[in-house]
Structure 1
Amino acid sequence: MTVNILKRKWHKVTAVISFILILLVFAFSLFVNSHWSPILAKKLKEVVATSSGGLYNVDFSSAELRILRGSIVFYNITLKPDTAVYNSKKKLHLAPNNLVELHIKRLTLSHIHPLKLYFKKKLDIGEVIINNPEVHISYQLNHTKDTVLKDNRTTWQKISKSLRSIHVGNIIMGDIKFRYDDYSGNKLAISELKEMNVSAHELLIDSTTQKDKSRMLYCKEIIAELNNYTFKTANGLYSGKIDHIKLSTLKSQLNIEGLTLKPINAEDFFAKSHKDKFTMHIDSVQLNHFDFLSYHKYRTLNASNLLLKNGAIEIFSNPNHFKPPTDRVATFPNIGIYKINANMKIDTAFINQINITYTEFNAKSNKTGSIYFNHTSGRVLNLTTNPVALQKNNVSSVQLTSYFMNRGKFNLQMSFNLTDDDKTFDYKGSLGPMDLKIVNSATVPLTMVKMTSGTLKQFDFDIHANKNKATGKITLLYNNAKVALLKIDTVSDNLKQRAFASLYANIFILKRNNPDIEGGPPRSVFVNFERESDFPFFKYIWQTLLSGIKPSIGLDKKTQDATVEMTNQQAIYQQNRKVKKEQRLRKRAERRKKREEKKLAAGN
């Protein structure tokens, strides 16, 4: 009996104590909400104002402190620049290149330590979750390097009177709406991003990290990810898509997956442009040791290497034969690199397994032909427009290995002078053994010549060129070369063989072997080719090589002139035969008519 009474009393005492504790916690929560939230809000506003030099102001509609959960929730946060402060800094050449506006519907701070903030002046937060933020950044180039500020204190030094340290374990931002206005060009360029997520880890501002260069914005790591990004070029001729982008500041690495660039339909494209049409898809693009902060602040693109892996590039030559009024030297790589309009320095660009296709339409045959460079791999050194880097080394070199028409192994070395006014460059290479009939998919539609037999043993070239002319040596080794010359069949619109011309070419023009006899000295041709102003870069290279290939197989100038003369004589002969045939047919018709008239007269 006594035991039961004691049990009942103990239960009552426990219940009363629990109820009192709940009331105390509730009362304490109300007290904290009414006192601590304003204190924290004040501290945050002070931190933002002091750390930005008065450039930014932060505000929010309300804040809610949840003691039991150890969290604070802010609603409708806005971060805006003070335009008066910005303009005054701009006059002093101290304004930043980027201005940020931010709106957040809901921001949650979890695992906070208010007592540590109050008694130790340490802002310690376990996690920050930002829901549906809207970020608007405006870029205007005010300076290209860090300006010397009168107040050159670190962020920690600026806030040290109010706070000893700021620590945030994780910052998570999901489903970001991002707008970027770029005022650096001739007209405003606007970029808008969706499906963007950003996370930051171990943010720490204190005396130990104030000059820690391994951190980005005082964070151990910032990861930004973007999915399904689509865009259009300024001229409206191309649309693009990127499946996934990921930036890691800890690794200093930018990864792009599924980069695609497509032109509008061919008819509209060539109606609006006199340029060649490009299509591109790259599975993977990786930029290592990427200095994101320099790019964000000054548009300087610095990286140790660039990796392009698995993809295809297709080029379709513009069929509209338009001769531009200006020199097309702008198509040279050592000029085109400056069109990127960025201060760039990439030590090495690696290319791995890229298929390249060049297609051209021939109006004479009314057909298209293509040449292929499959499984292209290699590297490009010193890819730069940086003035300081160019003073040390002004030459960019290229080494590539490919398979021509997916058969013959093709090695190519190129070098470009990036500062020379004459735009000098060199290229040398070799093409390994292959069956010459493989090239018919290109030669038949483009040159109306069909290789009926032949084996390429080796093709070597070594050319030195500038924007005006190219000189060098070409050696083409082959066996048993035979061709068929083609013409349009006016009935079927297909190509058919020109029997007499093919026979003449194989007997009197074409040199079937090089060397002429086995073991003999090979023929080499020294070229001296002058570039026409309307020749773009790749046409210039091809025409230079062709000027050496033709005499190698027997089509030197003398032979070409003789061939033209023979062709003209044959054309005259064919025309004379046609005229004589028409005359015979006309005379036959006249005789037939006279006979019929005589019969009619005799009958009467």
Structure 2
Amino acid sequence: MESKRQPTDRRKLSPLKIAKYAGFVVGAIVLVCVLALLLFSDTLVNKYVKPRITQAFAEAYPEYSLHIAGMHYSLFTNRFGFDSVALGAVDRSFSSHIAPFSVSGISWMHLLWGGSLSANDFANSVVDARDIRLNLGQSQYEIRCGQASVSMPHSEIVVEALKLHPAGNDEQFFAVSKFRKNRLRLSVPRATITGLASLEELQGKMYRARSIQIHDASLDILLNQDKPDSRDTTGLLMPHEILASIEGTLQVDSLRVIDGRFQYAERFELGSKPAIVTFDRLQASAKGITNQGSSGASFAIHTQAQFVKAGTLKLVMTIPVATRECSFKYSGSLSGMELSALNSFLEISDHMRIKAGVLEEAAFEVDVVSGRANGTVTGIYRDLKLAAINKKTGSEKGLMDRITSFIGNTFTIRRNNVPGSMKIGKVQRVRLRDDPFFQYEWFALRTGVQEVVGISTK
């Protein structure tokens, strides 16, 4: 007998159709997620991502506090943005604020599955920060920066409108310490660093750059000589100390300072006018800067500037790489100039005014070994004439001032220093505890100049 199957409306789905429908479902879920990220990304990251960031930071660094305002995310550009970021130490020794701040190009998808960030995740990242403010607390300094950008793909850092200065005025800065100290004011309109070894720097293994260029920078140093020497040398780092303090390998192929300005000043009374020397149109270059090398390895810095707006100063400084002592060499020359251009410093520091005198040329060579400077200063000049001036009024017409000027010009100073009867000055100075780098160079060189002229050293 023939059996008959009952008809049915249920059709058996093929594996291909099952995969097809499953793909539709997954695609729909992905589409919903993408739409959610596109339409509600800011809400999602502020509700879920931002709290995780701040919590993870607090657990990892309990001595610091992190505050994030207005977090944003763009799926198309893979870019996180922040209206502002504030980072500070709990003990208030340090605080910073950035507004706005953005970072893009970070590989972060694996974080959703419990992964962690590594240096390779930043290989294509770009960071842009504006209106950066750092308060350095006990140092009394603050740093401001208009814009800083870091591009890992281009191996480049660009900094604009960078400034370092005390948080208050000069009197507030000096009043904190009972000892003399140097006040710094640094301004860098633009600086670029190219050829970075980006991943190695993130790992802290090497700090390498092909080129550093600093444009139109100015540095102003003021020393308050009205207070005694300090017994504490904290923070007064010399070149060898700076190189030794860097963990990892430092290597800069080329450094250039273009059209810079440097001013050094000494103040001798509270609120008084300081003695000033200036270095304008400053050009500097160095190659092969590093903190690694053999015992005889060194690098040289070449500098040229207009000295006190009158003469051209050329200087070459050689700094050893591996030394643990205060040792370096510097030599150079100064072109012809009217010596009265030095009055901006001498009238305040030595109560002396140059009335006449012309420098034809000068040269110097100084070798510093273990904090002891020795060298020579030579100079050809003619018709030097000095006048003693009143410390308070600046007048040279007082009786004692006239007597001092007469004795000095007649019996003490060397009015002419020319070939055939040339005096060569000896540079001799031991570094004091609180002598910073430039100040030590300047004071050492002055001992040789004073011996040439015939003025007793202080």
TM-score, with structure 2 as normaliser: 0.76
Matching residue of 2:144: 241
Alpha-carbon shift at residue 469 of structure 1 (Å): 1.7
Matching residue of 1:542: 442
The answer to whether the 8 Å contact 2:96/2:135 transfers is no
Task: Name which of 507, 513, 516 aligns with 2:410.
Answer: 507
Task: Name which of 289, 305, 325 aligns with 1:383.
Answer: 289
Q: Which of the pair has the greater relative contact order for Cα pairs under 8 Å at 6+ separation? A: 2
Matching residue of 1:335: 241
Task: Name which of 231, 236, 256 aligns with 1:350.
Answer: 256
Q: Take 2:83 and 2:271, find their aligned partners in 1: how far apart are those partners?
A: 54
Larger radius of gyration: 1
The answer to whether the 8 Å contact 2:240/2:323 transfers is no
Equivalent residues in 2 for 1:346-425 (5 A)? 346-363=252-269, 366-385=272-291, 389-391=292-294, 394-425=297-328
Unaligned runs of 5+ in 1: 1-30, 42-61, 91-99, 109-127, 130-169, 206-214, 561-604
Alpha-carbon shift at residue 539 of structure 1 (Å): 3.5
Alpha-carbon shift at residue 337 of structure 1 (Å): 4.1
Q: Take 2:181 and 2:259, find their aligned partners in 1: how far apart are those partners?
A: 26
1:483 aligns with 2:386: yes
* 2:260 partner amino acid: I
Identical aligned pairs, as a percentage? 18
TM-score, with structure 1 as normaliser: 0.59
- Size of the aligned set, in residue pairs, is 411
Matching residue of 1:14: none
* 1:350 partner amino acid: R
> RMSD over aligned Cα, in angstroms?
4.1
Secondary structure of the residue aligned to 2:344 is: helix
Alpha-carbon shift at residue 435 of structure 1 (Å): 0.3
Equivalent residues in 2 for 1:34-433 (5 A)? 35-36=26-27, 38=29, 40=30, 63=33, 65=35, 76-77=44-45, 78=48, 128-129=75-76, 170-175=77-82, 177-178=84-85, 191-200=96-105, 217=121, 221-235=124-138, 237-263=140-166, 264-273=168-177, 274-298=180-204, 300-326=206-232, 330-339=236-245, 344-363=250-269, 366-385=272-291, 389-391=292-294, 394-433=297-336
Matching residue of 2:114: none
The verdict on how the C-alpha distance between 1:538 and 1:295 changes in structure 2, with shifts beyond 3 A counting, is same
Secondary structure of the residue aligned to 1:503 is: helix
Q: Take 1:327 and 1:230, find their aligned partners in 2: how far apart are those partners?
A: 27
The answer to whether the 8 Å contact 1:225/1:245 transfers is yes
1:470 aligns with 2:403: no
1:445 aligns with 2:348: yes
The verdict on how the C-alpha distance between 1:232 and 1:502 changes in structure 2, with shifts beyond 3 A counting, is same
Q: Take 1:300 and 1:176, find their aligned partners in 2: how far apart are those partners?
A: 32
The answer to whether the 8 Å contact 1:416/1:423 transfers is no
Report Cα offsets for 1:124-171 as digits up to 9, x if no partner.
Answer: xxxx24xxxxxxxxxxxxxxxxxxxxxxxxxxxxxxxxxxxxxxxx42
The verdict on how the C-alpha distance between 1:417 and 1:496 changes in structure 2, with shifts beyond 3 A counting, is same
Q: Take 2:282 and 2:223, find their aligned partners in 1: how far apart are those partners?
A: 20
The verdict on how the C-alpha distance between 1:363 and 1:73 changes in structure 2, with shifts beyond 3 A counting, is closer
Secondary structure of the residue aligned to 2:210 is: strand
Secondary structure of the residue aligned to 1:487 is: coil
The verdict on how the C-alpha distance between 1:524 and 1:71 changes in structure 2, with shifts beyond 3 A counting, is closer
Unaligned runs of 5+ in 2: 1-21, 61-65, 111-118
* 1:174 partner amino acid: G
**Structure with greater proportional helix content:** 1
Alpha-carbon shift at residue 344 of structure 1 (Å): 3.1
The verdict on how the C-alpha distance between 1:203 and 1:391 changes in structure 2, with shifts beyond 3 A counting, is farther
Report Cα offsets for 1:421-480 as digits up to 9, x if no partner.
Answer: 332111101111100111111111111110000001111111111234222221011011
Q: Take 1:334 and 1:536, find their aligned partners in 2: how far apart are those partners?
A: 12
Q: Take 1:292 and 1:179, find their aligned partners in 2: how far apart are those partners?
A: 25
Q: Take 2:215 and 2:225, find their aligned partners in 1: how far apart are those partners?
A: 31
